[in-house]
Amino acid sequence: MKTAYFDLISGASGDMILGALVDAGLPFTELRDALNLLGLPEFELTESRVMRGAFAATKIDVHTADTVHARGLAEIAQIIAASRLPAHIQERALRVFQRMAEAEAGIHGVPVETIHFHELGAVDTIVDVTGALLALEGLGVGRVVSSPVPLGRGMARSAHGAMPLPAPATVALLRGAKVVGVDHALETVTPTAAALLAELAEDYGPIPPMNLTAVGYGAGTRLTPEPNVLRVLLGDAAAGSGGTEKLVMLETNVDDMSPEVHGYVVERLLGAGALDAYLTPVLMKKGRPGVVISVLCRPDEAPQLRGLLFAETTTLGIRTSEVARECLAREIKTVQTPYGAIRVKVAHWAQGEKAAPEYEDCRRAAEAFRVPLQHIYQAALRASAE
């Protein structure tokens, strides 16, 4: 599996993440063309090489004529849904903005649907969020790890007036992350970067074991005596070496819910961040047929998914247990087939490797070329084996 390690030397922002990933090898034109799928005419993406302290770094800027001062979550969701971005990118981008909305709602004590983003609702923030997701996919990254997040203290100006640093939204978004205080009266981490890290990072700590393949430096806007850069390290896990991760299993039995709801609930769970969700038919007390709804997730996702189960099903109780998952090392590579480019997930182990084409890519190709889905699968597997 290709891993990206974000080394927050002086902090992080959305444009610094983009700059680091481009500096690490993602062609700028590929990122620019992918972001054009947003369908927003109000922005232009530019790339430049700059010095930050003694470091040469890549600076990505979003130039926009956007005049909208504030957008609600529903409006941002509408922009993303109306784009031509892949469905899985749209889904994950919406989760990032949902995190932001929930953080803001908690701070101000109001419902999520009444929240209007000011700085965070601008076009450049939408570009930063979707761009980071597209860039990681373009580089084939399957796992993100971050260093502990450096947080400075002081005061800053915002649309709500004077705000303490770290910004309240940043603190709320980083709940569960490893943070460290630094002696700067500056905003070292923006809410956009905090939301991306909260969504993407599996862990916060030292550099994980990997075969290092690339290093990139993304420049921030501010000029400081210390180098205002974010560093990303890219590497591959050694073939056959996977890893064990601690996950949470949520389970509940239901026997009084319409079967029509079952599929909807599973889709909601997967869309909300579950690693897996499935139904198992069981025979319950008094001979009633029922199902066990099982949800596998990371620990920080458990509260949200537990709430979703209570809201969307008739259950009155949910069992929670910790489980260990052993994973094979894996990577995502793109292969060329007669039906276009198809992403293939390749897992490595001691006895060899196994490959699985990405369903969404195969489905789109099957619909576009009007051929059976299995033809696309076989073409992708043949290309992967070459």
- The pLDDT-based confidence of 381 (bands split at 50, 70, 90) is very high
pLDDT, mean over the chain: 88
Last residue of a domain, one of 236, 254, 286: 236
Calpha distance 163→119 (Å, rounded): 13
Structure tokens that stand for 333 in this block: 């590579």
Last residue of a domain, one of 175, 204, 236: 236
Calpha distance 274→247 (Å, rounded): 11
Burial grade of 135 (CB within 10 A; 0-12, 13-18, 19 or more): buried
Q: Please spell the DSSP secondary structure of 104-154, one letter per residue.
A: HHHHHTS-GGG-EESGGGSHHHHHHHHHHHHHHHHTTEEEEEEPPEEE--E
Residue 362 clears pLDDT 80, i.e. is over it: yes
pTM of the model: 0.65
pLDDT, tens digit (0-9, with 9 covering 90-100), for 272-307 = 888 899 999 999 988 899 999 999 998 878 998 999
Greater pLDDT, 127 or 70: 127
pLDDT, tens digit (0-9, with 9 covering 90-100), for 233-242 = 999 865 444 5
Instruction: Name every residue whose Cβ is closer than 8 Å to that of residue 60 and which is 6 or more positions away in sequence.
Output: 15, 18, 19, 22, 28, 45, 46, 47, 131, 218
Per the structure, the count of domains in the chain is 3
> Do 256 and 287 share a structural domain?
yes
> Do 230 and 120 share a structural domain?
yes
> Do 193 and 253 share a structural domain?
no
Calpha distance 276→247 (Å, rounded): 11
Residue-level pLDDT at 240: 42
Residue 386 clears pLDDT 60, i.e. is over it: yes
> Do 208 and 180 share a structural domain?
yes
Residue-level pLDDT at 242: 57
Burial grade of 267 (CB within 10 A; 0-12, 13-18, 19 or more): exposed
> Do 173 and 72 share a structural domain?
yes
pLDDT, tens digit (0-9, with 9 covering 90-100), for 146-193 = 999 999 887 766 655 677 888 888 999 998 888 998 877 788 899 999
Domain span at residue 209? Answer: 2-236
pLDDT, tens digit (0-9, with 9 covering 90-100), for 9-60 = 989 999 999 999 999 999 999 999 999 999 887 788 999 999 998 889 999 9
